[in-house]
């Protein structure tokens, strides 16, 4: 992934129908979504802010994983898609996972 201030600026110049966003982790209790760096957080936020709909793509291994940098709440996504629910799937019904 190319990152940095130029990338964030350029990402903000485009308009998207759908933004598919990945993440380093998700806390199902606080609904916090994490990424690995401040630079990637800024790029992801720029894409989300300029899209009609935002979709979080996250694999089940990322549930209960905290990343370095918080960038969004799960409420900011129109949809969350995962390969499966984690084994400890209690307290995640409010996340609207497909």
Q: Is the pTM of this model over 0.85?
A: no
Count CA atoms within 13 Å of residue 38 on its CB side.
1
| pLDDT tens-place string over residues 33-49 | 999 998 889 889 999 99
| SS percent in the chain: helix, strand, coil, step 5 | 30, 30, 40
* 3-state DSSP assignment of residue 77: coil
Percentage of the chain beyond pLDDT 90 is: 46
Compute the distance between CA of residue 61 and CA of residue 16 in angstroms, rounded to an integer: 28
| pLDDT tens-place string over residues 23-32 | 999 988 888 9
């Amino acid at each position: 992934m190319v990152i940095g201030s130029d990338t964030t600026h350029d990402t903000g110049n485009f308009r998207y129908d759908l933004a598919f966003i990945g993440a380093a982790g998700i806390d199902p209790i606080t609904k916090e979504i994490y990424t690995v760096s401040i630079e990637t957080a800024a790029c992801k936020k720029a894409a989300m802010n300029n899209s009609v709909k935002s979709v979080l793509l996250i694999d089940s291994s990322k549930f209960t994983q905290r990343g370095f940098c918080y960038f969004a709440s799960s409420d900011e996504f129109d949809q969350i898609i995962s390969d499966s629910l984690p084994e400890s799937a209690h307290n995640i019904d409010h996340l609207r996972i497909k």
